Structure 1
Amino acid sequence: MISVVVPFYNAAEHLPRALECLETLDDVEILLINDGSTDASPEIAENWGNGRVIHQEHSGIAAARDRGIREATGEWIWFVDSDDTFDPCILERLSAASDGVDLVVCRAHHYDSRGRIRVMEGVADEIVVEDLKEAIFDGTVRGYVWNKLFRAEVLKRAIDRADRRQRLSSLEDLMLLLDALPEIRKTRLIPFIGYHYRERSGSAIHSDPQRLENTSICAETLAKLGAPSSFRVWFEAVPGIATTAHARVPDARKLQLPLLKYLTPPALLQTWSSGHRREAVHGAVMAVTVPIGVYSPLYRARHAMEKLLVRTKC
């Protein structure tokens, strides 16, 4: 049996749609973890009647997921975010690929806050990976948990290493995956696009002031596992600098300058060679423009021009 863990917090606007999707699943255990919501979402969950609702004080999504892991009775565990949707066949496809492995990963559609869609994570052809950390280093596998089917015993052992993850306000899913690494022997990646992730303007990726610090904690953890210098380019430095510009963070340059130490010519060349060519080029531009204080205004000008072009096409 598969246990489906759905943590939620003040999700009254989106939870009904998620529950509607969950109704398409057969022979599963559904655990709805209310992380201290103050809106109508607990009542919505209780009135639904098709799952087990567990209430706890507001402790953050990492603690809510951990609670779901502890309460799960299935052999496998799958996570769903309360504001996302998925293909009705996702569990059938993930389960069919689970023989002989501890983790199954599918691909997902990413809908950004401007309505753009892209395919994220995964492979074009099915493969079995024996060293998961190498797939994380090169970006083939990312930290998201909602496109992954975990063997339950793997996660139950992993949450014993939860202390550092509990304090992260974002990227806590990547830390869960890293905590599970020692328990995962084999991983199967399938090309099926089964999950639909929606990035909203109020999500942590946009609004969390600790995002840079959390990213640094994850990057340091992976560096200790042997991540190459290219990893910090595409995972930490490039998105970190771009995010401060996009969010119009006050004194953004003070936050950007420390990240430049990762944008060395050898690291950028390695990033290019590893397939992250867009990040390599972006990083090279940052290495030149951040020191002289023009990166943020150039970034915002380009962003404004893109929005204008979209309106013109409409």
Structure 2
Amino acid sequence: MSTPAADPAHLTATIIIGVRNPGAAVSGMTARLLEAVELPGVDAVVIDDGSTDGSSPVLVAALEDHPRITLVRHDESAGIAARRNEALERAGGELIWFVDHDDDWSAAGLTTLMRHADGVDIVFARADFAWGPGPRDRRLVDGVAAWPASRMIPKRTGVRLLIDGSVHGFLWSKLFRRSALGSAPFPALVSQSDIVGVARAVAAARTIRVIPDVVYVYRRQPGSITRSRTPDVRALESAHDAVLDRLGSFATAAERDTFTARFLCLASVNTAVRWGVDRGVMRATVRAASARARSLELRAVAGESLPLAAAMTLLRVAPPLLPLALRTALAGLDAFRAVRSRVS
């Protein structure tokens, strides 16, 4: 645990939650939220994006009359990106924390983030990914693992961390100054709007602090939009282009090519493999990834990451072999996790 940088008592923060069909998770979410808004200077905006599962009355009963919580309900769904943009317009805090209803987060995590937020535009923390109930059924999914203590970094370093994947585009492991996010930072994409918003904030930021604390645990749920059987590669392409549009001028050519290789080429094929798309979708996905890989400077990518350069070489010379290699690697990873879970 890092040493607190400052007393957060003079800071204000808004927790933003977009909700659609939270089901049984609604009670846990409301309990966490009611605890968090007891912190000094903290309020919340919760937007129900047209839930149809009967959870709305529970939200109303728990939150509607709370003086520090703004609850907005819609009859139709507009998507999480639109609802986050809407919530930002209603946010009163100078700091913004985005959370999801079905993950593990707490008032303690927000307190940690706020203690490090004085005088900076973004706090990069860490988050874990949990795939089971045991203490060993989790791994670091975001955050700089190599830095054991809090530190200030310049914008250029923040850009590199996001471009090279040391810091991912998840919103919930970060605390943003409202002014850095700007107006409507999230584009209307089926997925991947998060990283575009993060890129916009990094581009606008003057100062960033990186801390080693885990403030959030992400639990992948069966209904997640990233688990679609027909992954939207166009969303990856749009997000990729938007990130480079914001951050490309701060990055080197090698870093830009590495980002394309990792975030677009490899990720699109990996997503298709992981969620078992049909052969036609797989062929189209690999074909598009191969075309982008041929535009990259492989020597530059190799200078940043040899394994990534090897994957791009495979996409160039024998594209069908990459899904096979990824499928084998993922099967090994799943087997390792299963053994680890049984041991724990």
Task: Report TM bin, short chain.
Answer: 0.7 to 0.9
The whole-number CA distance in structure 1 between the counterparts of 2:261 and 2:128 is 24
Cross-structure match for 1:255: 285
Whether the 8 Å CA contact 2:176–2:201 is kept in 1: the answer is no
Structure 2 spans left out of the alignment, 5+ residues: 1-11
**Which of 128, 135, 159 in structure 1 is aligned with 2:152?**
128
Partner letter of residue 138 of structure 1?
A: D
Report percent identity of matched pairs. Answer: 25
The whole-number CA distance in structure 1 between the counterparts of 2:302 and 2:273 is 23
Superimposed CA distance per residue, residues 6-42 of structure 1 (whole angstroms, 9 cap, x where no aligned partner): 1100112222222222233223212211011111221
Judged with a 3 Å threshold, the aligned counterparts in structure 2 of structure 1 residues 283 and 2 are, in CA distance, closer, same or farther, namely same
The whole-number CA distance in structure 2 between the counterparts of 1:112 and 1:281 is 29
Whether the 8 Å CA contact 1:113–1:200 is kept in 2: the answer is no
Structure 1 spans left out of the alignment, 5+ residues: none
The whole-number CA distance in structure 1 between the counterparts of 2:233 and 2:241 is 12
Whether the 8 Å CA contact 1:169–1:210 is kept in 2: the answer is no
**TM-score w.r.t. length of structure 1:** 0.85
**Which of 169, 177, 199 in structure 1 is aligned with 2:220?**
199
5 Å-filtered alignment, 1:245-284, equals: 245-250=273-278, 251=280, 252-263=282-293, 267-274=297-304, 276=305, 278-284=307-313
Whether the 8 Å CA contact 1:15–1:41 is kept in 2: the answer is yes
**Which of 30, 42, 62 in structure 1 is aligned with 2:56?**
42
The whole-number CA distance in structure 2 between the counterparts of 1:186 and 1:310 is 38
Whether the 8 Å CA contact 2:142–2:173 is kept in 1: the answer is no
The whole-number CA distance in structure 2 between the counterparts of 1:45 and 1:71 is 18
Partner letter of residue 101 of structure 1?
A: V
The whole-number CA distance in structure 1 between the counterparts of 2:25 and 2:84 is 18
Whether the 8 Å CA contact 1:234–1:271 is kept in 2: the answer is no
Judged with a 3 Å threshold, the aligned counterparts in structure 2 of structure 1 residues 17 and 279 are, in CA distance, closer, same or farther, namely farther
The whole-number CA distance in structure 2 between the counterparts of 1:134 and 1:304 is 31
Cross-structure match for 2:129: 110
5 Å-filtered alignment, 1:26-175, equals: 26-27=39-40, 28-49=42-63, 50=66, 51-56=69-74, 57-112=76-131, 116-123=137-144, 124=147, 125-131=149-155, 132-155=158-181, 157-159=182-184, 165-166=187-188, 168-175=189-196
Whether the 8 Å CA contact 1:154–1:183 is kept in 2: the answer is yes
Range that drifts further, 19-28 or 114-123: 114-123
Whether the 8 Å CA contact 1:169–1:208 is kept in 2: the answer is no
Q: SS in structure 2 opposite 1:170?
A: coil
Partner letter of residue 133 of structure 1?
A: V
The whole-number CA distance in structure 1 between the counterparts of 2:100 and 2:48 is 12
The whole-number CA distance in structure 1 between the counterparts of 2:79 and 2:295 is 39
Superimposed CA distance per residue, residues 145-192 of structure 1 (whole angstroms, 9 cap, x where no aligned partner): 11111112333x332x65xx02x0101111222333443211111110
Cross-structure match for 2:238: 217
Deviation at 1:108, TM superposition (A): 0.3
Cross-structure match for 2:29: 18
**Which of 271, 281, 285 in structure 2 is aligned with 1:243?**
271
- Kindly indicate whether residue 262 of structure 2 is the aligned counterpart of residue 234 of structure 1: yes
CA RMSD of aligned residues (A): 2.8
Judged with a 3 Å threshold, the aligned counterparts in structure 2 of structure 1 residues 73 and 88 are, in CA distance, closer, same or farther, namely closer
Whether the 8 Å CA contact 1:233–1:268 is kept in 2: the answer is no
Q: How many residues align structurally?
A: 306
Q: SS in structure 2 opposite 1:46?
A: helix
Judged with a 3 Å threshold, the aligned counterparts in structure 2 of structure 1 residues 15 and 273 are, in CA distance, closer, same or farther, namely farther
Q: SS in structure 1 opposite 2:183?
A: helix
The whole-number CA distance in structure 2 between the counterparts of 1:175 and 1:305 is 32
Deviation at 1:285, TM superposition (A): 4.2
